[in-house]
């Protein structure tokens, strides 16, 4: 309790360093955006390392990281805060975004395009030179702490087909594009994170590269680096590489029978 009073965001601080393998100049790009106090828009496919990158940067900066997994029911009030009624009466409770703005920290809105449209309007004054959050329900105009930074992410590969960020929102952010690492780098990541041999890690990465070329076969997205790590962990837990790949990658990737048949054949050929 004493720690929470001294540091309101103590529970949001990372306790150990998240492993992240840089694949380009993304750390320097993040540092530049932070120095300039500019909000960040991270774009890239599912499981390519966007969230891990943000966690790594929070650790490097020794700042709390408040992560919000966006969904279709997430509203502006969920982020900003609301009035609560308890035995002592009514009291205002900051939402996760307001906590980061008030006390200073990184606020990461993951898969931002999944949230309701009213959340976009809430972010506008935070994402420009004003750096303010309007808490209309409690009558407060909250000026952002110097350590506050807004980061949002989404996958343009499938969400952009149905929903797009408006130019008035998009142009407030600086963007960073993420993709899967090159095969040698990805092999090293799978080997370390999945506790796998170099041989198995290489097999998994080669399989993943093949799945990423199956868009013409109806596959929405290929195997992510995250999935490869899961397969490696299953193999370490006792499954054969074939069964681990089926359980962690091929079966979760698609429910379409025809696509599933292609993936099963690919697993059989790879292992």
The pLDDT of 170-179, averaged and rounded, is: 95
For residues 167 and 191, state if they share a domain: no
Whether 264 shows a pLDDT value over 70: the answer reads yes
| Boundary residue ending a domain (177, 195, 223) | 177
Asked whether the CA dihedral 36, 38, 41, 47 is positive or negative, the reply is positive
Which pair of tokens denotes residue 138?
Answer: 């409690």
For residues 231 and 253, state if they share a domain: yes
For residues 255 and 124, state if they share a domain: no
Say how far apart CA 214 and CA 10 lie, in whole Å.
Answer: 44
Give the pairing of strands 40-43 and 149-154. parallel
The parent domain of residue 115 ranges over: 2-177
Whether 2 shows a pLDDT value over 50: the answer reads no
Q: Check which CATH number belongs to the domain holding 15 and give it.
A: 3.40.50.300
Beta strands, E only, the chain: 40-43, 65-69, 81-86, 89-94, 106-110, 132-135, 140-143, 149-154, 174-177
For residues 61 and 145, state if they share a domain: yes
For residues 227 and 168, state if they share a domain: no
Could you give the number of structural domains in the chain? 2
User: pLDDT value at position 163?
Assistant: 67
For residues 20 and 151, state if they share a domain: yes
Answer for the pair 65, 153: CB distance below 8 angstroms, yes or no: no
For residues 46 and 122, state if they share a domain: yes
204-221 as b/e, with b when 16 or more CB fall inside 10 Å?
A: bbebbebbbebeeeebeb
Say how far apart CA 157 and CA 143 lie, in whole Å.
Answer: 35
Which pLDDT band holds residue 31 (cuts at 50, 70, 90)? very high
What does pTM read for this prediction? Answer: 0.90
| Boundary residue ending a domain (177, 200, 218) | 177
Q: Residues of the chain with pLDDT > 90: what percent? A: 77
For residues 168 and 197, state if they share a domain: no
């Amino acid at each position: 309790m004493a720690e929470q009073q001294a540091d309101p965001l103590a529970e949001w601080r990372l306790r150990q360093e998240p492993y992240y393998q840089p694949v380009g100049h993304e750390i320097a790009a993040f540092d530049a955006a932070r120095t300039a106090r500019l909000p960040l828009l991270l774009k890239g496919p599912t499981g390519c390392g966007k969230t891990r990158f943000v966690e790594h940067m929070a650790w490097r900066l020794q700042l709390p990281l408040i992560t919000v997994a966006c969904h279709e029911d997430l509203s502006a009030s969920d982020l900003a805060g609301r009035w609560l009624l308890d035995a002592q009466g009514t009291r205002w409770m900051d939402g996760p975004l307001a906590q980061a703005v008030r006390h200073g920290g990184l606020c990461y809105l993951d898969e931002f395009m999944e949230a309701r449209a009213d959340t976009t309007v809430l972010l506008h004054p935070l994402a420009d030179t004003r750096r303010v959050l309007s808490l209309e329900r409690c009558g407060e105009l909250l000026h952002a702490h110097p350590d506050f930074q807004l980061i949002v992410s989404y996958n343009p590969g499938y969400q952009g087909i149905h929903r797009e960020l408006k130019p008035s929102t998009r142009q407030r952010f600086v963007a960073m594009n993420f993709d899967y690492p090159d095969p040698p780098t990805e092999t090293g990541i799978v080997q370390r994170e999945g506790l796998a041999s170099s041989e198995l890690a290489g097999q998994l990465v080669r399989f993943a590269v093949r799945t990423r070329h199956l868009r013409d076969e109806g596959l929405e997205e290929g195997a992510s680096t995250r999935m490869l790590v899961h397969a490696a962990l299953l193999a370490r837990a006792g499954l054969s590489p074939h069964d681990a790949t089926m359980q962690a990658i091929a079966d979760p990737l698609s429910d379409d029978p025809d696509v599933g048949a292609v993936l099963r054949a690919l697993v059989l050929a790879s292992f």
